[in-house]
Structure 1
Amino acid sequence: MRVLLVTFVMLAASLGWTGSAQAAPKVQTKTIAFGKLKPQRMDMYAAPSAKKKRPAILLIHGGYWWGGDKGHWKAIARDLAGRGYLVFATNYRLSQQAVWPAQSDDVGAAVTYLHKNAKKLGVNQRRIIAMGTSAGGQLASILAVRGTGSSRVRAVVALSPVNSPLEGYEAGGRDGADTYTRKLRQAVVKLLGCAPVFQDPDCWPLLTDATPEEHVTQGDAPALIIHSAKEFVGVEQSTTLRSEMRAAGVPVTLRRLPGALHGGEILKNKKNYTQVLKWIAKWAK
C-alpha cells in the first residue's frame, strides 16, 4: 500500500495536483496474454467496484514502433483505474520483430480479447476506449477507422499520432530535419520493411494500409487528436484525417497546443489531462 501511495503522490506532483494521498484507491494489477506470442501481453489495472461492468480503456505505448513498453503507462493507468475504469496497457510486436500490419493486428487482437472475455473481466463491451501516444497514437487512430465487430472501440484519444507515415518519412529527409524527425523517417522504413518512395508497387500498399485517413467510413469511432505546435510530429499529421472524418460524419476534435510536448508528456499538464478525462468520460457514459 505504501508503494501505491508513493506512486500516486509522484503522479499527482507531475500533473500539478494537490490533495492528500490517503484518497488513493487500492489498484490491483495482473498481466494477461491475449495471444500466443510473447509481445501479445497487456497489464490490467482495476480498483474494487460494485459495478458488474465498467468502461475499459486500452492504452497503447509509443516508441517509433520499434521501442517502448506497456509499463510506461503505469502511473496514468493507476490513476484511470482509481477513477473507476478498467484499464489495459498493451504491448504489441515491435518493428524489429515483425513489420506492418503486425502492430495493427496485435492491438486489434487485444480489443477482441476484451470483447470475448468481457463478462469475466467485467468490461462493458460498448464502452471500450483506446488511447495511444505517438506511434501508439497512430495505432489508436487505426482502431478508430478500421475496428469492426469484435475489434471495435467506442472512441479514441490519439496524442501526437503519426497519422501520416508518408509525411513522417518525407520530413525526415528534408534539409534541417532534427534528430527526432530523422529518426521517425528511419522508423517508418522499419515499420513497413521498405522505403515508401512514390508509387512503389510493393511498399505503397503497406503505406496506404498504415495510414488512417485511407480507411475512414461513416460510423467510425469518434476521435480526440492532440498535437503540440512545436513538436516533431506536427498537427499536419492529422489534418487530412480530420477532414475525412468530418466528411463522413464522424465526430472528431483536433487540438493544437502551444509548446513542444510530445505524446505522453501532454498528459503531464493538468489542463490537458483534464480535457482528455472529459473526452473519455463523455464517450464512456
Structure 2
Amino acid sequence: MRTAVFASALVAAFALTPAAANAAVVASHAATKDPTPSVPTDPSGLGGLSAETVRYGMQVNQNMDVWWTADGMKRPGVFLIHGGWWSSGDKKQMTEITRSYADLGYTVFNINYRLSGQAAWPAQRTDAFGAIATARKHAERWSFDPANFVVVGFSAGGHIAAAVGTYGDGVPGLKGVVGLSPVISPLRAYADGGAAEGHTETEINKRRLREAAVRLAGGCEPKGKCSRVWASMEVPWHASRKDAPMLLLHSQDEFVPPAQSALLKQMLGQVGVPVTIFTAPGEQHSAPLYREPGVAERVQAWIAERIG
C-alpha cells in the first residue's frame, strides 16, 4: 500500500459554534497541500481497488486510509471511526470492515484521531471534521461524492460519529450516522460507572468507561470548571432539526446499554430527526456486535437506503 503524505494547517480545535466550525473547514481546505501525484494502482490482492494512507494534519494520529475504485465515477463515501475507550485503538483494527465497504462500491475513509492521552475533547471531533475536510478537497482524486456520505463509529468512535452528526445545524453532505455500541452520553456513563460495584465483566467495564470519560475531559470530573467540556461531550444536548438520521445498535446486556441511545432518540425525535435503535441479545460490544449474524447486513442495508 503506497503512502501519500501531505501537510495540513487545520485548526487545533473546533469551537462550539457552527460559524467557527465552518471557518475551520475553510481554513483546512486552504492550507492542505495536494497529495503526491501518482497513478492509481491495484496493490496485491485489492481486486481493482486503490488504497493509500494520507495525513489530514501534522500531529500524531492525524491520518487515514483511503480505499476507492479509480474509475472516474463519483461514489458515496463511508467514514469509519474505530473504538478503544478514546485512549487506545487504531484504524488497522478496521481494515477488514474497510475492505467490505470498498468492495460494495463506496469510497472508504478509515480514520485515526488523537487519543485522549494526546489531547482532550473536542480534539477527537475536530479530527473527524479534519478528515472530512481533506476528503472534500481531494474528492476527485478518490472518486468521492462529497455531497453523499455517512459516518460509522464503534464504541468511543460511535460517540465521535454521533457528535459529528449533531454538530451545529447539520453537516453538508452527511446523510446518516451509524453507531455500534455508541457512548452517546458520557454523563450517563459516568453515573453508571459510579454505581457499578460488582465484579462481573460488565460492571468492571462500566467503571472503566467512567474513568475513560474523565480522561477524555482532560482529567476533570463533570462539575465546576469542567462542566462546559462535559456539556460539549454530551451528544443529546446538541440535537437540532437538520442533524443526520441515525442507526444505533447495542446488545441488551452490554456495558454501554441501549438506554444511552434512547436519550438521543428522544431529543432528536423532538426536532423531527429519525433515529432507529436496534437491540441484539447478549453482551457483545462494538466490533464483536457487528460480527453477530445479520448485524452487518442490517447496517449495510440502512446505509444503502441513504446513500445508494
- With the shorter chain as reference, the TM-score category is 0.7 to 0.9
d(CA) in 2 for partners of 1:102 and 1:94?
8
- 1:24·1:82 contact (CA, 8 Å) conserved in 2? no
User: Which residue of structure 1 aligns with residue 84 of structure 2?
Assistant: 63
CA distance in 1, matches of 2:64, 2:229: 26
Q: Deviations over 1:130-176 (max 9, x none)?
A: 00000000001011111667775221100101111011112112222
Is the Cα contact below 8 Å between 1:104 and 1:139 reproduced in 2?
Answer: yes
Is this contact kept in 2: 1:138–1:162, CA < 8 A? yes
Distance change >3 Å, CA 134–CA 161, structure 1 → 2: same
Partners of 2:198 and 2:169 in 1: CA distance? 41
Match of 2:293 in 1: 270
CA distances 1:20-58 after superposition (whole Å, capped 9, x unpaired): xxx98343321011112121100011245x352100100
Cα pair 1:143 1:152 within 8 Å, conserved: no
Offset, 1:242: 0.4
Paired residues in the alignment total: 260
Shift of 1:261: 1.2
* 8 A Cα contact 1:112 1:150, kept in partner: no
Confirm whether residue 187 of structure 1 aligns to residue 212 of structure 2: yes
CA distance in 2 between partners of 1:80 and 1:235 (Å): 26
Does the 8 Å CA contact 1:136/1:161 hold for their aligned counterparts? yes
More helix by share: 1
1:118 matches 2:139? yes
CA-atom RMSD in angstroms: 1.8
1:146 aligned partner, one-letter code: Y
234-243 vs 143-152, greater mean Cα deviation = 143-152
Q: Partner amino acid for 1:224? A: L
User: Which ranges in structure 1 are unaligned for 5 or more consecutive residues?
Assistant: 1-22
SS of match in other structure, 2:83: coil
> Matched residue of 1:43: which SS?
strand
Equivalent pair of 1:111/1:152 in contact (CA under 8 Å): no
1:254 aligns with 2:272: no
SS of 2:224's equivalent in the other structure is coil
Distance verdict in 2 for CA 1:266–1:27, change over 3 Å? farther
* Paired letter, 2:146: Q
Contact 2:64 2:109 (8 Å CA) reproduced:
yes
Structure-1-length-normalised TM-score = 0.86
Structure 2 equivalent of residue 35 of structure 1: 57
Contact 2:165-2:171 at 8 Å conserved across structures:
no
Correspondence for 1:140: 161
Q: Secondary structure at the match of 1:42?
A: strand
Partner SS for 2:215: helix
CA distance, structure 1, for counterparts of residue 248 and residue 171 of structure 2 = 24
Is 1:153 aligned with 2:174?
yes
Q: Give the % identical residues.
A: 36
Q: How far apart are residue 119 of structure 1 and its match?
A: 2.1
Post-superposition offset of 1:194: 3.3
Structure 1, 121-130 or 175-184: larger mean CA deviation: 175-184
Corresponding position of 1:128: 149
Matches within 5 A, 1:235-254: 235-254=258-277
Q: Equivalents in 1 of 2:226, 2:46: separation in Å?
A: 49
Check whether the contact 2:180–2:249 (CA below 8 A) recurs between aligned residues: yes
TM-score by length of 2: 0.80
| 1:233 correspondence with 2:256 | yes
Structure 2: how far apart are the matches of 1:27 and 1:75?
14
Is 1:92 the counterpart of 2:117? The answer is no
User: What code does the residue aligned with 2:214 have?
Assistant: V
